[in-house]
């Protein structure tokens, strides 16, 4: 191995180690059950599990942080996805949305699920339980539509 390559690899390893000093905040905001979508909408039990498996990690304050969220820069990318997901739709604060916003969010949920846009394929690669069957996708989209 050439000296230049060795120094480059050592430099990259040092940068990687230093990056680990900058960990993401894994504290979830409090969850008030009387504001939660599942509690308020009362989906069938099967769909409750589908929502928890496929939606709640990024779209609620109930995010489960697996081991790889302790490894930068992957953790930074995941943190950004969670922040964006909660900003766009947060099932934990469903009761805070006015009726018009709830209706719009339900319409978006129906479309995103129906078109296969959600859950993200990058998420389902690592979280197999979040991958929706065509039947689950159809049932969930129809249920979202029924709430509007």
**CA terminus-to-terminus distance, the chain:** 64
* 94-103 per-position pLDDT tens digit: 999 999 999 9
Report the alpha-carbon distance of residue 72 to residue 16 in Å, rounded.
Answer: 8
The confidence score (pLDDT) of residue 1 equals 78
Do the Cβ atoms of 89 and 51 come closer than 8 Å?
A: no
Grouped pLDDT means (10 residues each) for the chain, 148 residues: 88 91 94 96 96 96 94 93 96 97 97 94 90 95 95
* Maximum pairwise Cα distance, the chain: 66
Give the angle 55-63-88 at the CA atoms, nearest 5°: 55
**Tokens found for residue 75:** 């953790």
CA distance readout (Å), 29 to 47, 67, 74, 85: 24, 20, 21, 14
Locate the domains of the chain by residue range.
Answer: 26-146
The confidence score (pLDDT) of residue 126 equals 86
**Tokens found for residue 52:** 């928890």
């Amino acid at each position: 191995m050439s000296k230049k390559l060795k120094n480059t690899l050592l430099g990259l390893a040092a940068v990687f180690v230093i990056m680990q000093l900058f960990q993401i905040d894994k504290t979830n905001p409090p969850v008030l059950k009387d504001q939660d979508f599942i509690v308020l909408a009362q989906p069938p039990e099967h769909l409750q599990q589908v929502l928890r498996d496929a939606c709640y990690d990024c779209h609620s304050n109930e995010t489960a942080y697996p081991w790889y969220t302790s490894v930068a820069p992957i953790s930074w990318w995941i943190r950004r996805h969670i922040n964006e997901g909660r900003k766009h739709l947060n099932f934990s604060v469903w009761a805070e949305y006015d009726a018009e916003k709830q209706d719009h969010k339900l319409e978006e949920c129906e479309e995103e699920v129906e078109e296969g846009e959600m859950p993200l394929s990058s998420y389902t690669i690592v979280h197999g339980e979040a991958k929706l069957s065509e039947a689950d996708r159809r049932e969930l989209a129809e249920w979202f539509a029924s709430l509007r």
